[in-house]
Chain A
Amino acid sequence: MGFRPIHRSALLAATLLSAVALTGCAGTTTGDSVDADGLQLVVRDGHLRELGASCSGARPYLGIHAGAELTLHDGDGREVLAVVLGDGEAVKVDDIDYGRAPRIPTFCRFPLGTASLDDGAQYTVSIDGQVVAEHRADADGTMVFVPALADPTIEGSE
């Protein structure tokens, strides 16, 4: 599951879309499928789905699905979280009005439960043992993104 370098403008757009998703999706969660206070994995695949539908990662993220194991390792290689994924839920990527379109661009969001992550620390995100992203925790961050959001403070992240 490799990732290609992303153009700066694309990164900016993805960041903005993700920020919209974080705010716009708060009201779209249904039932108890997502613990809003817990850590969540957001697969930014932009796939066309019905909002709220069960989902897995779309290509090229097909490996992220119910039954796969997500792990977070800290900088010392210690495993700080291991979760077997359940179903994801399709959430908005933006606040565009798509009219009556039954399927709209979505991300697939998985609840991960609670985890104690150190503010500012970087974690390696793996799915079934394969590294898929790096995650930098911050005070407000409850979202782990795949692919990861660019961090301008990290050299080579552009």
Chain B
Amino acid sequence: MTPLRRAAAVVAAATLALTLAACTTEPRGGAARLPGAIPEGTSYFPVADAPAAPSLDGRLVDGTAVDLDALAAGRPLLVQFMASWCSTCAGQQAVLADVASEYGEAVAIAQVSGDTDPDALTTYLDAEQVGDPVVLDPELQIWRAYAVTEPPMTALIDADGRLVKLWPGGADAARIREQLEQMVSRAG
């Protein structure tokens, strides 16, 4: 192999490696999407008269066992009940993305899927670019605990695990923000 061809081969291999690295991501909805560290200077105000939130015990799409503590990780948790066949749920993704963009790690977001078809769910998560952990609930046990009768429904749980709000049909970003402003204090 001539030096020129060797150099070309090295460049091609490097390009391929970089391309593969750029394209490889963790599966959507899995443990890699769980919350990270709470930002410095963030504090939370619990909602004293709210009832305890029902259990969120389940498994993420990658099989990771989770519960309310794991999903919230000490901060307010926004829970979206959804299904891949629910077109209104798809419309709610932009709302969740807005909240995630504004609050970052100060607020946790999780989704609970009522899908029975894993392939349909995977397709949905990719199409909607869902960036949250997704709990599988094909038997609708969690849905029933939260009185979900038709998706979407949005639930807001405070940092102490109390169920603050349920929005049947989903909520808009302004309503969620209005609640969060009473629950979250951020530095700066």
Chain A residues near B (Cβ < 8 Å): 45, 47-50, 53-59, 62, 65-68, 87, 103
Kindly identify which residue among B114, B168, B169 contacts A62, using a CB–CB cutoff of 8 Å: B114
Chain B residues near A (Cβ < 8 Å): 83, 85-88, 114, 140, 148-151, 168-169
Kindly identify which residue among A47, A49, A59, A66 contacts B85, using a CB–CB cutoff of 8 Å: A66
Once the chains bind, are B86 and A103 in contact (CB under 8 Å)? no
Q: Chain A interface secondary structure, helix, strand, loop or mixed?
A: loop
B13 to chain A, nearest CB (A): 44
Once the chains bind, are A68 and B85 in contact (CB under 8 Å)? yes
Greatest chain B CB density within 10 A among A49, A50, A57, A62 is at: A62
Q: Can you show 11 pairs from A to B with CB atoms below 8 A apart? A: A45-B150, A47-B149, A47-B150, A50-B169, A55-B150, A56-B151, A57-B150, A58-B150, A59-B148, A62-B140, A103-B169
Q: Chain B interface secondary structure, helix, strand, loop or mixed?
A: loop
In the complex formed, the residue of B with least CB distance to A59 is B149
B175 to chain A, nearest CB (A): 11
Residues of A within 8 A of B169 (CB): 49-50, 53, 103
Once the chains bind, are A56 and B86 in contact (CB under 8 Å)? yes
Kindly identify which residue among A50, A53, A58, A66 contacts B149, using a CB–CB cutoff of 8 Å: A58
Contacts beyond the supplied A49-B150, A50-B169, A65-B85: 15 A-B pairs with Cβ under 8 Å: A49-B169, A53-B169, A54-B87, A54-B88, A56-B85, A56-B150, A59-B149, A62-B114, A62-B150, A65-B83, A65-B86, A66-B86, A66-B87, A87-B87, A103-B169
